[in-house]
Amino acid sequence: MPFKVAVLPGDGIGPEVTDEAVKVLKATGLDIEFESAPFGGAGYDDCGEPLPAATLALCQASDAVLLGAVGGPKWDSLQPLTKRPEIGGLLAIRSELNLYANLRPAKTLTPLIHASPLKEGRSMMDLMVVRELTGGIYFGEPRGRRDDGNTAFDTCLYTRVEIERITHRAYEIAMQRRKNLIAVDKSNVLETSRLWREIVTEISTQYPQVSTSFMLVDNCAMQLIRDPGQFDVILTENMFGDILSDEASMITGSLGLLPSASVSDPKGDIVFGLYEPVHGSAPDIAGQGKANPIAAILSASMLVRYSFKDDATADRIDNAVEKALANGTRTSDVFENGCQIVNTSEMGDAIVREL
């Protein structure tokens, strides 16, 4: 049976970079059936909804979803807000598909070490932030204002079930990596963090091969800059993960390099997930062949690794990206002297050649 991948190219540079990711997946020789559907601004233009019912149904019937990016000035003033690609599209698909675990790897690519703000002498970085995506202070009730609007409050709330399921996903990922998990919290202050620590401690006994430790979030923010090489898997709640994953990802250098995954519960051998670059639709460079497709291609590699559990093929894709860069093939965002500037599709071709 072929794997089934739903492809949602989206808007702006989304279709350009997604084409390259699909090209690379086809070149791996894996048996994958692709089906595309409109999403985001393209969904709105097509049938008046950023997440058309048929697109959602296609995703639900697939093993994984490959997404480009959505949004752009054309749809920025749509009313009501649920017609906008980011709200009615992205946020809606994450909650409809129950994508509670957000995986954000951040890795120094050796040929691009010059692009990192942390120059020579610092450790190489290869870490994964596993962020809880559908709970915590971003979703807790009650929230609101009182005293004529002069006092505001949010609620940070976590249930055992929410913490347990993401903790298992994080340990499974640690088992596929260097088997080192650091759970990041603020347990010296927050009750929710103390519950996280209790549950992570309990679950850690089921993964004795993984070394588990705890770190306070303020220290983690500092340690990421001081010595990013010390981290393998960082497991954390929604808001801390939001901030730490952005901090870690920028240590690599360019937005055009950063993949991400949002995964849900395993269905048998397959872990259902949605894979997308961290960047947006970049309307300023859309249609010009300038977009770097590497974030989309590395998202496709994550799809193979986490949904299909095929580490060997994912490693081949990751190595092909590094080799193409090492050969001096560069899109303009990561250009340096002595390299050859190529367009989006030529970058994809160079990576396919290295496969």
CB of 342 vs ligand NAD, minimal distance in Å? 12
How many helices (DSSP H) and strands (DSSP E) are in the chain? 11, 14
Q: Which is nearer to ligand NAD, 92 or 270 (CB)?
A: 92
Q: Residue count at the site for ligand NAD (CB under 6 A)?
A: 22
Which amino acid, one-letter code, is at 298? L
Q: Which is nearer to ligand NAD, 210 or 258 (CB)?
A: 258
Among 28-36, 95-103, 214-222, 274-282, the segment contacting ligand NAD (CB under 6 A): 274-282
Residue 216 and residue 186 in contact, taking contact as beta carbons nearer than 8 Å:
yes
Site for ligand NAD in 298-327 (CB under 6 A): none
CB of 227 vs ligand NAD, minimal distance in Å? 28
| Interface residue with ligand NAD, options 51, 234, 282, 347 (CB under 6 A) | 282
What are the E-state strand segments in 133-221? 144-146, 151-153, 180-185, 211-216
Q: Residue 72 has which token pair?
A: 């752009």
- Assess 281 for contact with ligand NAD (CB under 6 A): yes
- Assess 15 for contact with ligand NAD (CB under 6 A): no
Q: Phi and psi at residue 41, in whole multiples of 5°?
A: -60, -40
Site for ligand NAD in 182-211 (CB under 6 A): none
Residue 324's CB: how many other CB atoms inside 10 A? 24
Closest residue by beta carbon to ligand NAD: 280
Residue whose pair of structure tokens reads 């705890």 in the numeric block: 214
Among 114-122, 193-201, 221-229, 279-287, the segment contacting ligand NAD (CB under 6 A): 279-287
* Cα separation values, 114 from 23, 60, 117, 254, 331, Å: 28, 41, 8, 11, 15
| Interface residue with ligand NAD, options 28, 238, 292, 329 (CB under 6 A) | 292
Among 51-59, 121-129, 283-291, 300-308, the segment contacting ligand NAD (CB under 6 A): 283-291
DSSP 303: I
Q: Which is nearer to ligand NAD, 19 or 276 (CB)?
A: 276
Residue 217 and residue 186 in contact, taking contact as beta carbons nearer than 8 Å:
yes
Cα separation, 347 vs 54, whole angstroms:
32
CB of 188 vs ligand NAD, minimal distance in Å? 33
* Cα separation values, 34 from 37, 57, 73, 212, 335, Å: 10, 15, 29, 39, 32
CB of 326 vs ligand NAD, minimal distance in Å? 19
Residues 6+ apart with CB under 8 A from 267: 63
- Assess 255 for contact with ligand NAD (CB under 6 A): yes
CB of 44 vs ligand NAD, minimal distance in Å? 13
Q: Phi and psi at residue 50, in whole multiples of 5°?
A: -70, -25
Which residues belong to the active site?
138, 186, 218, 242, 246
Q: Buried b vs exposed e over 173-209: b needs ≥16 C-beta within 10 Å?
A: bbeebeeebbbbbbbeebebbebbeebbeebbeebee
- Assess 256 for contact with ligand NAD (CB under 6 A): yes
Q: Which is nearer to ligand NAD, 40 or 136 (CB)?
A: 40
- Assess 295 for contact with ligand NAD (CB under 6 A): yes
Site for ligand NAD in 48-77 (CB under 6 A): 69-72
Q: Which is nearer to ligand NAD, 129 or 220 (CB)?
A: 129
Residues contributing to the site for ligand NAD (CB under 6 A): 13, 17, 69-72, 86, 90, 255-256, 276, 279-285, 291-292, 295, 333
